[in-house]
Amino acid sequence: MYPDEISKNKYIGCLLGAAIGDALGKQNEGITREDILKTGCIKDYGKAKEGTPGDKLRPGDFTDDTEQMLVLARSLIDNNGMDADDFSKRMAKWGNDALKDPIRKNFIGPSSALAIERLNSGVSWKWSGSEIPSCGSAMRVAPVGLFYKDLDEIEENAVISSIPTHNSKTSIAGAVAVAIAVRCAFDEMECEDIISRTCASTSKYDMDLAEKIKFSFELRNNDPDEVFSKIGTSYLMIDTVPCAFYCFARHFKNPEHGIIEAVNAGGDTDSIACITGAMVGAFYGMDLFPERWKDGLENKALIEETAVKIFEFMKHKQITF
């Protein structure tokens, strides 16, 4: 493949990986690791279990993680970069539509719901973000890691992308972590270097999150049952992001297994797998994913088209500047 083709493949891989992880992981959202192991690990699309947030979705449908990621990607594309006003308006509209939809309203997290309400009642994006330290701003942030090459710019824009909905220091730090890791993975850094560069940026916002990411990397050769119970798999940023880094690092040479590991971690499996998928897709490109995962995915063409637009923007920027 020519360098441009490799690059395009990775842009698509990153966004598709996030959506595939989300669509696979939704089947186990809110289920404990113990219960997942009792009924068997999930490796393919299917209906989410009765009583879980995505139980009315079809197999291969994704959840709010991917929807929010696409909102952010479209805002970046239409504004030639991060524009907090525009992104907040789009999030407020997206949230309003989703909350009116009987199928989609169930999977909106507490921080997003609160922020959407504030944004829709006229509160500025600077003050609308929730203080709940949940993972919503990390699960959607991958496009920021694709849209900029410079790591300082990525860090700065990941922070801005978090504030309108997730304004706690841990949520901001988590968005920074995933955006930086996506770019470092895209650049095919060694796994250890991806972790240390990610932690260097993350620690500026939340030392505890940076330490826990480092810890999850150190545990990469330990048994998943032990690690998931040690790290925790809840929807809080302090659990979700380190968990995704564990899955990524443990299966660094076998990334399809990394996604399956994340899908079956228990707890917030759609977000853990979405973040893992974005990182492995950025590193390996879209060819890594089995055809059945790509073909069965909701709105695959739209996701690909969005990634290609980011790729083309970056290519143009390289020629112009």
Query: Which residues of this chain interact with Mg ion, rule CB under 5 A?
Result: 63-65, 107, 270
The three-state secondary structure class of 20 is helix
What's the min distance (Å) between Cβ of 113 and Mg ion? 12
What's the min distance (Å) between Cβ of 107 and Mg ion? 5
Closest to 65 measured CA to CA, from 134, 167, 154, 118: 134
Q: Which residues contact 53 (CB under 8 A, 6 or more apart)?
A: 26, 29, 30, 63, 106, 107
Nearer to Mg ion, 157 or 269 (CB): 269
Nearer to Mg ion, 26 or 183 (CB): 26
Query: How many Å apart are CA 28 and CA 152, to the nearest integer?
Result: 35
Q: Which residues pair with 236 in a beta bridge?
A: 134
Using Cβ positions, the residue closest to Mg ion within the complex turns out to be 63
What's the min distance (Å) between Cβ of 15 and Mg ion? 16
Query: How many Å apart are CA 157 and CA 207, to the nearest integer?
Result: 19
What's the min distance (Å) between Cβ of 271 and Mg ion? 6
Nearer to Mg ion, 184 or 241 (CB): 241
Nearer to Mg ion, 66 or 198 (CB): 66
Q: What angle do CA 203, 143, 89 make, to 5 degrees?
A: 100
Query: How many Å apart are CA 91 and CA 85, to the nearest integer?
Result: 10
List, as own/partner pairs, every contact residues 148-157 make where C-beta atoms lie below 8 angstroms and the sequence separation is at least 24, other chains included: 148/81, 148/183, 149/183, 149/314, 151/180, 151/183, 151/184, 151/197, 151/201, 154/179, 154/180, 154/183, 155/179, 155/180, 155/201, 155/204, 157/81, 157/82
Nearer to Mg ion, 7 or 106 (CB): 106
What's the min distance (Å) between Cβ of 248 and Mg ion? 19
Nearer to Mg ion, 16 or 184 (CB): 16
What's the min distance (Å) between Cβ of 296 and Mg ion? 18
